[in-house]
Every structure is written in C-alpha cells, then in structure tokens.
C-alpha cells in the first residue's frame, strides 16, 4: 500500500483525526496483552463516526483488513493486527453523558471504564462491572469481550448493563440497537456483545446504572489446601448466599503478590479467599470457612481498613509480570459445584510442570484465571506452555465448563473451539459473521480458524 493512497484517505478524515504510517513510536499497536504480534500498514485514530465510515470505505476498496482497537488490554489477541492490516484506534472517542432520570450513561467506545464508575458516583449512581483492568480498559473493549469483574457474582457482567449499541457496519452504515432504535424487529444487541470486533465497529453504548449500594463487610481468609478454599466457595453459593465479591487466589498466586507487597499473615498459605458480603451474611460465611478448616480469618467493616486487605488481589497482576519473562493467562469457567475439582487440577498441574502455574479468579461464578509463567521465552518453553494450556482447557470442558469466562477467543483459543462446540454450531456462528461482514473486512481470522 503506497503512502500516496493513504494520503488521499487522510484528506477525507476529520481535522483532529490522525493517520500514522511510521510505526517507530507506536509499537504497542502491534500487540495487546498477549504474546501475539502483527505489523499493521497504518494506524488511524478516529474522532467520530464519519472517520470510521471513510476508513471502512477505503479498506473495502483496497481489500485491507481492518482491526478495531481500544486500549489493547485484551488477553486473547483480539486487537492484534495481521501484517498489513489497518488498525482503527477508537481510544480518542471519549464523549460521556448521563441521563440521571432514566439512570443511563451514554459512553463513546473509547471511554475508560473507571471514568464511567467515577463520574456515575458523582451523580449518586453506580456502574457495577469492574474488570481488573478497569482503570485502563475502554468500555468498547469491555463490550467486545463481555468483560466481567470482581463484583460480577452479585451484579452480573457487562452484557447485563448494555441497553443499546451504536455501530458502523462493514458496509459503512450506522446501525442502532436497543434503546437507540425504537422500531420493532430483532434486537441485535446481544449478538454484538462479545463479538470481538468481528461484526460491527461499536461507536457508542447505552449503559444501565443503579443506585449506589451500601458497602459490605470484607473477609480475608486463608487455607492449608486450595481444595478446601474452593469447597468453601461452593458451599457459600450452595447455601444460597450471593456475596458482593468472592475472589480466590491459590497459594502460589498469593506468594507472588506477597513478594510485591509484604503481608506476614499470608506467609506459606495454600489458598486465600477475599469476600465482600452483606453484613447479615458474614457470620454464615465465617462459619463455612471454619467448617472447611481455614487457618486465618479477618473481618473488616471499615472501608479504609478493608481496602488494605484487597491489596493482595490488586497487586497480583503487577507481581506476576515482574516475576516472569513470558506469561500467558487463561480464563476458564466451570459450574460452581465443580470448582474444587478445577482448583485441585491446577494445583497438581503446577506440582508436575517445569513451568510456574498459579490461579486466581472470580470464584463466585466459577471463573478461574490461570497464569502460565515462563522464565526464558524460548521456543521449548512456549511449546510446553501450549501443552499445559491444552490440558487445562480439556479439563474445563470435561467438568462441564467453558473455554473462556471473559477474555474471549481472539487468536489465543481459535483452535480449541471444537472442544466446546460441534461443527453445526460453529458453522452457524460463521454464517452470522458473514451476514454482517460478507467480505470478512472486520477483524478477520479471529475467533474462527
């Protein structure tokens, strides 16, 4: 693709849009948070829907793949460009407005998730989904992957708060769903949530807000066995208790975090649970923890002091990055009754592997994130990671679970989809893709092989 052709496109874009062909200072746009990489022919920073339409028309005319991108925090390779593609960055589309009467936020796709939480709180409203990357991930990326978060066990995930979507189709037309479209007919909102940029380019999302709930009580508890901790998770949910937050860390994950910021109470533990609960449920939860032989338990109802208890969870991602040259993070989910079996399996995997493998997750809904940590980044080590990851994914399916709880499929899990879906189901999904994107312009070669 010649610079002359890109120059013609640049003339059609809005004055504040940017078109970059010299990638010297833009290496991060060649990747996301995975180890996957690609080299685009250009990066375009769109400012409005007209910019997107011009880019789509240009890419269609010249048969160039178009890869939409938010903040690049994804863990499945969904925003990684194939060589020669155009990366369409939506991170500068950041308009945010509120309808306090209807309790709705209208956010352009580039708005940072935490900004929505913070601005809603100023209006005495609350947006519950809070993925771990909420201070850097965009709402468009959250919708594209159907992100979860710490509070998902009680309040649900992103899809539970999307009231409507605006987006540009592969034909360059504006499509409106949900509350943006008052005409009768199919509501495509649910199809676009979790579609990973393969169906439309999302430009704005209408989000349901709720009243700010009362803060609960935080419980930090430790165990000598990861299976005992996981059994406590299962027992809490089976008892009909729905905590606000229910997070699990195995012993190695806790040790990683503890190396980043010391907490003497968490030395040599096999697993910990971090729980935020309604005060009325705290005593029942404490009883279940003791029933499953917890070795340490601390309750805290002061929000400031409770915040200190959460540091072990917040520090984990930073700690894992510091302690490994290469990390691959997978996110499986299983029925809550099977959670102890999954946790025990990962513990055994770690014991028998040359890799360092640890796990944590939004335990309340059966989600487990598993870190595969390498120290060399060699081909042999990456191959071993692939072998161990496949073992994990097969176990999740065997337990009646799913390949991905919230990270998506992207490039990372394409080849494993037949483990979960039969040929007819996969073919049906592909037909939906081509119904919206006949020429496979938008984020091609993602999700499906």
Positions of the chain with pLDDT under 70: 1-3
Residues 243 and 204 in one domain: no
Q: Which of 28, 58, 89 is the last residue of a domain?
A: 89
Residues 74 and 26 in one domain: yes
Specify the CATH number for the domain of residue 7: 3.30.43.10
Give the separation between CA 412 and CA 171, rounded to whole angstroms.
28
Residues 78 and 108 in one domain: no
- Residue 418 domain flag: no
- Residue 102 domain flag: yes
Residues 226 and 196 in one domain: no
pLDDT given at position 266: 78
- Residues 375-384 have pLDDT tens digits of 999 999 999 9
Residues 128 and 183 in one domain: yes
- Residue 351 domain flag: yes
Residues 130 and 157 in one domain: yes
Residues 317 and 238 in one domain: yes
Tell me how many domains the chain contains: 3
**Which range of residues forms the domain containing residue 166?**
96-211
- Residue 17 domain flag: yes
Buried b (16+ CB within 10 A) or exposed e, 122-152: eeebbbbbbbbbbeebbbbbbbbbbbbbbbb
pLDDT given at position 267: 81
pLDDT given at position 187: 86
Specify the CATH number for the domain of residue 156: 3.30.465.10
pLDDT given at position 1: 52
pLDDT given at position 414: 95
Residues 73 and 123 in one domain: no
Please state the pTM of the whole predicted model: 0.93
In eight-state DSSP terms, residue 48 is S
Give the separation between CA 33 and CA 101, rounded to whole angstroms.
38
- Residue 152 domain flag: yes
Residues 55 and 107 in one domain: no
DSSP string over 184-247: SS---HHHHTT-TTSS-EEEEEEEE-EEPPPP-EEEEEEES-HHHHHHHHHHHHHTT---SEEE
pLDDT given at position 88: 98
Neighbours of 379 (CB within 10 A): 8
Residues 185 and 225 in one domain: no
Closest CA to 310 of 146, 184, 124, 150: 150
Q: Which of 372, 398, 424 is the last residue of a domain?
A: 398
Residues 265 and 373 in one domain: yes
- Residue 196 domain flag: yes
Specify the CATH number for the domain of residue 269: 3.40.462.40
pLDDT given at position 2: 60
CB-CB contact of 362 with 334 (8 Å): no
pLDDT given at position 342: 96
- Residue 154 domain flag: yes
DSSP string over 159-174: GGGEEEEEEE-TTS-E
Residues 263 and 241 in one domain: yes
pLDDT given at position 279: 86
Give the separation between CA 284 and CA 275, rounded to whole angstroms.
12
Give the separation between CA 285 and CA 26, rounded to whole angstroms.
49
Give the separation between CA 76 and CA 112, rounded to whole angstroms.
19
Give the separation between CA 145 and CA 78, rounded to whole angstroms.
9
- Residue 275 domain flag: yes
Q: Which of 370, 398, 426 is the last residue of a domain?
A: 398
């Amino acid at each position: 693709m010649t610079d002359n052709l890109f120059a013609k496109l640049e003339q059609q874009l809005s004055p504040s849009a940017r078109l970059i062909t010299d990638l010297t200072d833009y290496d991060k746009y060649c990747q996301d948070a995975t180890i996957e990489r690609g080299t685009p022919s250009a990066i375009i920073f769109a400012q409005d829907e007209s910019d997107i339409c011009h880019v789509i028309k240009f890419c269609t005319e010249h048969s160039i793949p178009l890869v939409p991108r938010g903040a690049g925090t994804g863990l499945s390779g969904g925003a990684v460009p194939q060589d020669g593609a155009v990366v369409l960055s939506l991170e500068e589309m950041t308009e945010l407005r509120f309808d306090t009467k209807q309790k709705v936020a209208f956010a352009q796709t580039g708005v940072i998730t935490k900004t929505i939480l913070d601005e809603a709180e100023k209006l005495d409203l609350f947006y519950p989904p809070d993925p771990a990357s909420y201070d850097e991930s965009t709402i468009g990326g959250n919708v594209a992957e159907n992100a979860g978060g710490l509070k998902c066990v009680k309040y649900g995930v992103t899809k539970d708060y999307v009231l409507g979507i605006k987006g540009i189709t592969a034909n360059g037309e504006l499509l409106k769903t949900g509350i943006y479209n008052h005409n009768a007919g199919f509501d495509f909102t649910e199809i676009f949530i979790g579609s990973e940029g393969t169906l439309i380019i999302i430009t704005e999302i209408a989000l349901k807000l709720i009243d700010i709930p009362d803060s609960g009580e935080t419980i930090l508890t430790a165990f000598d066995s990861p299976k005992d901790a996981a059994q406590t998770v299962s027992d809490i949910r089976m008892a009909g208790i729905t905590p606000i937050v229910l997070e699990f860390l195995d012993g190695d994950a806790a040790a990683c975090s503890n190396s980043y910021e010391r907490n003497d109470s968490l030395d040599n533990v096999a697993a910990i649970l971090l729980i935020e609960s309604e005060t009325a449920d705290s005593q029942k939860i404490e009883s279940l923890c003791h029933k499953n032989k917890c070795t340490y338990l601390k309750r805290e109802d002061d929000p400031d002091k409770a915040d200190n208890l959460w540091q072990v969870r917040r520090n984990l991602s930073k700690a894992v990055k510091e302690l490994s040259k290469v990390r691959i993070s997978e996110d499986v989910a299983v029925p809550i009754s099977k959670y102890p079996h999954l946790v025990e399996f990962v513990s055994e995997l770690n014991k028998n592997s040359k890799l360092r493998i640890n796990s944590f997750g939004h335990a309340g809904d059966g989600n487990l994130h598993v870190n595969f940590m390498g120290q060399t980044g060699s081909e042999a080590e990456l191959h071993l990671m692939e072998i161990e990851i496949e073992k994990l994914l097969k176990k999740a399916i065997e337990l009646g679970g799913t390949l991905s709880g919230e990270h998506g499929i992207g490039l990372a899990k394409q080849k494993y989809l037949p483990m979960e879906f039969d040929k007819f189901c996969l073919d049906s999904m592909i037909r939906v893709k081509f119904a919206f994107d006949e020429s496979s312009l938008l984020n091609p070669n993602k999700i499906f092989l």
